[in-house]
Amino acid sequence: MELPVTNSPSSEAKPSMGSMLRNRFIQAILSAGVFMQIGIWVRNFAVLLFVVEMTDGDALAVSLVSVAEFAPIFVFSFIGGAFADRWKPKRTMVICDLLSAISIFVIMLTLLYGSWQAIFFATFVSAILSQFSQPSSMKLFKLHVPGEQMQAGMALFQTMMAVFMILGPILGTFVFEQLNIHWSMGIVCAMFLISAAVLTLLPPDRDEEKIDKGTSIWTEMKMGLDYVLHRKALVALGGSFLAAGLGIGVIHTLAVFLITEQLGLPKGNLQWLFAANGAAMLVGGGLSMVFSNKVAPQTLVLWGMLVTGIGVSIMGFSEMFWLTLAMEAMIGLFMPALQIGINTLILNKTEESFVGRVNGILTPMFMGAMVVTMSVSGFLKDSLSLSWTYQCSAAMFLIGIVFLLPIYRIKDPVPVAVEAQ
């Protein structure tokens, strides 16, 4: 059956930003994304601040908020990706948003009449549902965005995410402090419902009869693993993912020590590093949209990892605040290119029937590597010094580039329908 919009990369015409924004799918997915991001950021910060308030800043309780947010990535990412390949993507996303809204509504009732600890459940359930929804959105990109618009569409989506990286914490904190946890959860519930309503404007799911009807979900998960292992481009990309996760995890919690120990400044100056990174990400997202059709996705990833590695290395030795700030901004400037290139490569190197499972394998690989090095970063800092810990992180990004280089000469054929044979 023909798809409603072809994504053939053979088109000669270079799409303008106006033609891309007229794409019905991009309009709907970006609009729904705005409401979903508002809901997610208000939820995350309302829950965090509420737990701090109820426990007088108990460290264990606060850490459980992060566990509720990140644990589902490890447990449900691959499973969610497998089901995303099995189910109709538009319907999956709408149902996930509706279930998230229902879970938030139940928590509102629990807060009114029961125990406040149930607030953890809201974050946990929404995080689980996002592991089914996110790979479905990647599938829809593959189905409904022409190949020559895909990278620009990813750039636009990534720019929106960068905006919320800056505004999200401000918005979430403002809503909780001005209203209360009950109104905050009410706003979250409304945002998920609006997102679901907007997603109904997407082109309808195609009616596709799966020939392998007797295949179990576990068999399809095994097929997904085999698919990744037998495609050289995805193995190379997985190696880069693993190295990048290890590199980011090493320094994820150490930025405050750059300020207090290496630069000898009050820890409050850490906010300027975050501000410089966020502002640069906005600029980088805009530049990525402008140049997205002129640069190969693997080149975007390569430059993103190279600049990040150089920036991290210089920050590790810098004893000048302006230089550290400049490197943080430089990393932020190239971070959208890195993320856009990775997502585009996944879509370009994966056929539509495997997008969910490939995404479900690579995402926890990155997160798992990051958690591993986050858990030992303090030990590395005490054993090696802060500067050399940063050099270890920079080395991981250079190793990631080594894994990436073979993609330039890999020409993996994309079979028409592996599962239907």
Instruction: Give the pLDDT mean for 111-133.
Output: 78
Name the more confident of 4 and 277: 277
For residue 415, the model assigns a pLDDT of: 44
Q: 406: which residues sit within 8 A by CB, 6+ positions away?
A: 232, 236
User: How far is 384 from 395, CA to CA, in rounded Å?
Assistant: 15
For residue 323, the model assigns a pLDDT of: 94
Instruction: Give the pLDDT mean for 276-284.
Output: 85
Q: Map tokens 């300020």 to a residue.
A: 259
Name the more confident of 418 and 386: 386
For residue 38, the model assigns a pLDDT of: 92
Instruction: Give the pLDDT mean for 93-111.
Output: 87
For residue 90, the model assigns a pLDDT of: 86
Considering the chain, what percentage of its residues have pLDDT values greater than 70? 88
For 192, the token pair is: 């998920």
- The pLDDT-based confidence of 165 (bands split at 50, 70, 90) is confident
User: How far is 285 from 281, CA to CA, in rounded Å?
Assistant: 6
Maximum mean pLDDT: which of 99-113, 177-191, 211-225, 258-272: 177-191
Instruction: Give the pLDDT mean for 248-259.
Output: 83
User: How far is 319 from 137, CA to CA, in rounded Å?
Assistant: 43
DSSP conformation letters of 193-243: HHHHHHHTTSPPPP----S-TT--HHHHHHHHHHHHHT-HHHHHHHHHHHH
User: How far is 260 from 35, CA to CA, in rounded Å?
Assistant: 37
| Cβ–Cβ under 8 Å, residues 229 and 361 | no
- The pLDDT-based confidence of 207 (bands split at 50, 70, 90) is low
Of the listed ranges 13-22, 182-191, 291-300, the least confidently predicted one is: 13-22
- The pLDDT-based confidence of 10 (bands split at 50, 70, 90) is very low
For residue 193, the model assigns a pLDDT of: 94
Rounded to the nearest integer, the mean pLDDT of the chain is 80
Q: Over 80: is that where the pLDDT of 243 sits? A: yes
Q: Phi/psi at 157 (nearest 5 deg)?
A: -65, -40
